[in-house]
Structures are given as C-alpha cells and as structure tokens.
Amino acid sequence: MEIKTDALVLRAVDYGENDKMATLLTADRGKLGAAVKGVRKANARLKFAAQPFCFAEFVLAERGGRHTVISASLHDGFYPLCEDIGAFYAATTVMEAADRLMYEGIVSREMLVAAVTALGQMCMGEVSLALIRFLLTAQRLAGYPIVAADCPLCGKPLAGKLRFDMSAGAFACFDCGKGTPASESTYRTIRAALGTGPQLPEGEARKDGEKRALRLLYSYFTYQTDSALDSLPEYIKML
C-alpha cells in the first residue's frame, strides 16, 4: 500500500551501509519511522528527504507496519537555518520538542503546522520569539499549557517579583503563590508570545525577557516530561 502525506523530518540516523531511518511528523498519520534507501551515496536522488528540517510531500510504501520512502517533493528545506549556528540550535530544539511530545498513533496536524511555522519565522530572523511561541503551543497540545493571566489566587494583575508553579503551569503573586521565583519580564514575554499581552519593545529588555522565558520553558518542559531538550541550553548560551 502507498501513502501520500505532507511530513517534516524530525531526525534521521544511519541505517545499514547506505540507508537512513527518518522520523517523520506527518499531517494525517502522526509520527512514524520510514527507511530512506541509498541516501548516503554521493549522488542519491532522495538525499534531501533525510536532511534536518526537510518539509516535503512524501510517498511511502507501507508493508507489515513498516514504511519506506518511495519519493518526495520538497516544500521547504529551511536552508538558512543551517547557515547560522544560533538559528540551527533553536530549530533543532523545535525538532526535539515535537519528537518527545508526539507518540506514534497520535495525529496532530496543529503540531506539524506549529513546527513548520516556527521554522519559517526563524528563517526570517525572528528566532527567539518563534521558539517561545512554538514551545508554548507544543506543550499546550501535549496537555501542559502555561497560564499567564492575573494571579489565580488573589485575582490581582501581576507585576514585579512573581512565582511560577511548575505543577500548575501558572504565574502568581510572589507573596500568595508557590513555586520558583520568576521575573516580570518572563511573564510579559510569555504573555506577548501567547497573544494576551503587548509585545515588548526592541532592545536589551526584550532580549533579557526572551532569555528568561526560554529558561523557564526549558525547566517546565523537563518537569512535565521528565526529559530534557538538549539543544535549548546551547541556544540560550548564545543569547
């Protein structure tokens, strides 16, 4: 049986002498593994189909629950991401998060759209905010949403020194909340990324807020999934 589907290559590893095994995030079949035959040869026709960040229409042969790539038509390779080390680490974080949060048999077209959208925004230079938006969306889709509203305990607007409750995924006043201390810039950055607050003006304050927000998102992801995003700390170091 043949399957045609749009898919994003999350990762690919060497297999056998000339092949690769690719992990694909598909539009209508969720995450699945597929063999890409002969792509380690110098003149391989489908070499692009086993490259990081490849977004293409794949034709797969399915037999006994196993998949093999027959052909692929490239939508976007997001090549600028491989020309900037910071953008590369940020984009790799998107791939790692999608891979860890999606399980075989679970279909989420929204996860695929969010990942492809983030990669496109990163190519345009909006790297940190695109990564923050994606992580917020991905964790919401996985059942771990972050709430950045008024204090859930006293109902007052949040400002100044705050707390973030990892178990609840919510910000609260420092005095009446519990959890790890959090800055107002982290809170405002996440509100902006969620579309519930104004964007921070360009400058050092915005950069600081994005860096702090990514640190919190890394901690929250690790807390909720008991797994780490290996590339995210490397990207944070570069900010």
Q: What is the CATH number of the domain that holds 112?
A: 1.20.1440.120
- Segment 55-77 mean pLDDT: 94
- Segment 66-70 mean pLDDT: 94
Is the same domain home to 60 and 106? no
pLDDT score, position 218: 98
Give the domain extent around 150: 83-238
Is the same domain home to 147 and 219? yes
- In 3D, which of 33, 214, 27 has the Cα closest to residue 132? 214
56 beta partners: 7, 74
User: In the chain, what percentage of residues exceed pLDDT 90?
Assistant: 86
Residue 148 pLDDT more than 90? Answer: yes
Last-in-domain residue among 76, 110, 139? 76
Residue 92 pLDDT more than 90? Answer: yes
pLDDT score, position 140: 97
Is the same domain home to 103 and 38? no
pLDDT score, position 170: 97
Last-in-domain residue among 44, 76, 108? 76
Name the residue with tokens 């380690």.
40
Last-in-domain residue among 76, 99, 116? 76
- Segment 14-35 mean pLDDT: 92
More confident residue, 214 or 105: 214
Task: Give the chain's mean pLDDT.
Answer: 94
Q: How far is residue 57 from each of residues 8, 156, 202, measured CA to CA in Å? A: 9, 49, 38
Whole-prediction pTM: 0.94
- Segment 108-126 mean pLDDT: 96
- Segment 58-70 mean pLDDT: 92
Residue 52 pLDDT more than 90? Answer: no
Separation CA 223–CA 166 (nearest Å):
7
pLDDT score, position 82: 92
pLDDT score, position 43: 86
Is the same domain home to 142 and 205? yes
pLDDT score, position 130: 97
180 beta partners: 164
- Segment 167-186 mean pLDDT: 95
- Encoding tokens for residue 199? 């964007």
Residue 44 pLDDT more than 90? Answer: no
Is the same domain home to 199 and 227? yes
pLDDT score, position 24: 97
Separation CA 72–CA 56 (nearest Å):
6
Is the same domain home to 38 and 138? no
pLDDT score, position 64: 85
> For 186-192, which contacts have Cβ atoms below 8 Å and span 24 or more sequence positions?
186/162, 186/212, 186/213, 186/216, 187/148, 187/158, 187/162, 189/132, 189/213, 190/132, 190/136, 190/146, 190/148, 190/216, 191/148, 192/129
Which of the four pLDDT bands, split at 50, 70 and 90, describes residue 137? very high
pLDDT score, position 236: 97
Residue 198 pLDDT more than 90? Answer: no
